[in-house]
Structure formats: structure tokens, C-alpha cells
Amino acid sequence: MAVTLDQVSAALMPDEPRYDRIAAELGVEALPHLTTLIQGDNLALATKAASLATLIKDERSLEVLAHAVRSENEVVRIAAAAGLWRLDRFDIGPLLVPLLRDAQPSVRLNAAKSAVREPSDPQVAETLEALHVRDPIPAIRETATDVLRRIEGAERLSRAVRGGGPLVNEKMLAALGRTVKAPQLYAAFAEAAFDDEVW
């Protein structure tokens, strides 16, 4: 049965919608209705619609979020910026850049946090560099600095793994991957890769 605008609106009506469940139940068929809500006059529904769009793992979600990025309402743009990282399997760079350049500090801060999931887009990196140097808000400068450091660490780790050499023996790394099953250990290793002193 087709998903209707009324269904989507009703699902998002509670103060704290269960976004994961709504995304699973309504799926991609909700996306056109999310666009309608984002462009509508109900700010609360528009904001929730932007949040829900970040949880529907489909490239068409980016088209919906493009409307959120252009919204006149800061809270809608914040919702898009805060959740955009969830769609990192797609090309989120074109949406991140205008959010990183947004006039509102809260939008820039949330976009900078999401930008850690888009390490390969040169425009994102360039905009983060500008925030790191020139943003008037200390918290945004610090976040941009941290994200740039993490991106550099991830690239360093990727180069080492791909290239082998003295830093990483690929056969040993593969054996370690087969031996270590606990995701906590992998997470600790990934975190350490972003720390220059530990590295």
C-alpha cells in the first residue's frame, strides 16, 4: 500500500518520534512527502522531516535534504547538518559545503561534525580549513581542527594499509583481522590512528 502524506505527518507528530522505526516502516516511499513537509509552514514537522530523511539510506534522500539545506529556517538546516553523516555512503559533499558556510554558527558546527564522514571531497576539506583558520566561534574552529586531524589520520591509515611497507605488514594485518573479533578492539585501533602521538 502506498505511503501517504497523512501517514508521514502522523508518524512525525509526537514530540520525540521513533525515527529508526519510522524509517524502517515507511522507507523510500516517504521521501516525496518529506520534501513537502520540509517546504511547508509547520516548522516542527519540517525539522523532523529533515531528521527522518537522514535515516533513509537511499541516494534520493540527498534530493530531499537539498531542500532542507536551502530552508530559511535555521533549525531545519541544523537537522540536515546534524544527520548528514548517516548518508556517507553517498556523495554528501555538495550538501555539506553550503552548510559549512552557513551564516548560523549552529549549522556550521553540526556540518563540521558530519564532515568527518566525507574525507575525500576537496571542497569540504578546503571549507574546513577556512573554518579552522577564520571562523569567529572558537568551538567551530576547534571542531574543524579535530575533523581535519581525523581525516588526515584516516588517510594516513589507508595509505599505510594499501601500501604495506615499514608501517604495516599487510599479511600480519590480515591475520590480526581474522584473530580479533571484538569490535571494541577495532574501534580502539581506529581511534588511536587519529592520535598523532599514539600513531
Full pLDDT tens readout for the chain, 199 residues = 699 999 999 999 999 999 999 999 999 999 999 999 999 999 999 999 999 999 999 999 999 999 999 999 999 999 999 999 999 999 999 999 999 999 999 999 999 999 988 888 999 999 999 999 999 999 999 999 999 988 887 676 666 656 555 455 555 555 655 555 566 665 666 566 555 555 5
Q: Say how far apart CA 190 and CA 138 lie, in whole Å.
A: 27
Q: Say how far apart CA 171 and CA 73 lie, in whole Å.
A: 52
How far CA 103 is from CA of 63, 94, 98, 148, 185, in Å, comes to 22, 17, 10, 21, 40
Estimate to the nearest angstrom the gap between the alpha carbon of 190 and the chain centroid.
18
Residue type at position 31: L
Q: Which sign does the torsion angle of CA 40, 41, 45, 46 carry?
A: positive
Contacts for 54 with CB less than 8 Å, ≥ 6 apart:
61, 65, 79, 80, 82, 83, 84, 86, 87
For residue 185, give the 3-state DSSP assignment. Answer: helix
* Spatial contact of 110 and 92, defined as CB atoms under 8 Å apart: no
Single pTM value for the model: 0.79
Q: Say how far apart CA 164 and CA 126 lie, in whole Å.
A: 29
Residue 194 confidence (pLDDT): 55
Contacts for 60 with CB less than 8 Å, ≥ 6 apart:
28, 31
